[in-house]
Amino acid sequence: MEEVLTVVIDGTEPLSAATVEAVRTVCDQAEDRAGSGLVVVQVSGAPAEGWTSGLDVMQVSKWERMLRRLERLPRATVAVATGDCGGAALDAFLTCDVRVVTPGTRLLVPGDGTATWPGMSGYRLVQLAGAVRVRRALLFGLPIEASEALAIGLADELADDPAVALAAAAGLVRGLAGKEVAIRRQLLFDASTTSFEDALGTHLAACDRVLRVPVAEAS
């Protein structure tokens, strides 16, 4: 049975060193034991008013760098959201390859006292769904309901039983090499911002990597 690594993120908790460390730990494990297993990110909860009290930009920067690491892991990642999902929970949810919501889930961009929080969750929301579809959530903090998240591409599945969705995700990646999944993911990220001419070399390098595998195995 392929390994499943799990991290739980509670969005009701203010962003802290402990949250960063929890993600760091699962990233270390995934990178040290790169393979075809899953990293499961369980998220729920949204921050209460005043959640930014005590935060500084260095903490936020560490968190954003850790999310980027999670986003580039040499394993497929699956997020499962339950209930309200905002703050650190929303941040982590949006980084994953497969995103599952349960009935009653709401994606929330929290406020910071003057407007909505201007973190990178806004960037990822736009990248995934387009500016028009998430405009009201980003500008005014209106919740994105589970059915809407599914319709606009922020979620891949609306599941009554997350265990069934996780089993299906495990089936998708069974036998795939984690490092190769990470390369395909990066090609996907780059496709919307890179010209054909600039992308060609990177895609050819990835093709060459695949074509060399049988030769390396035979030698």
Residue 215 has pLDDT above 70, yes or no: no
Q: What percent of the chain has pLDDT above 70? A: 96
Q: Where does CATH 3.90.226.10 sit in the chain?
A: 4-173
Half-sphere exposure of 155 (CA within 13 A, CB side): 25
Of 108-112, 181-185, 215-219, the one with minimum mean pLDDT is 215-219
- Residue 192 is predicted with a pLDDT of 85
Of 40-44, 99-103, 212-216, the one with minimum mean pLDDT is 212-216
Residue 35 has pLDDT above 90, yes or no: no
Q: At CB < 8 A and 24+ separation, what contacts does 17-23 make?
A: 17/59, 19/63, 19/88, 20/59, 20/62, 20/63, 20/66, 23/66, 23/67, 23/69, 23/70, 23/92
Assign a CATH topology to domain 4-173: 2-enoyl-CoA Hydratase; Chain A, domain 1 (3.90.226)
Which residue matches tokens 């093709």?
207
- Residue 44 is predicted with a pLDDT of 97
Q: How confident is the model at residue 171 (pLDDT cuts 50, 70, 90)?
A: confident
Question: Residue 116 CB: number of other CB atoms within 10 A?
Answer: 18
- Residue 1 is predicted with a pLDDT of 53
CB 95 within 8 A of CB 70: yes
> Tens digit of pLDDT for each residue in 198-207?
999 999 999 9
- Residue 7 is predicted with a pLDDT of 97
- Residue 176 is predicted with a pLDDT of 82
Please state, in angstroms and as integers, the Cα–Cα distance from residue 58 to each residue in 19, 130, 171, 198, following that order: 14, 29, 39, 34
> Tens digit of pLDDT for each residue in 6-21?
999 999 998 899 999 9
Q: Mean pLDDT, the chain, as a whole number?
A: 91
Half-sphere exposure of 34 (CA within 13 A, CB side): 10
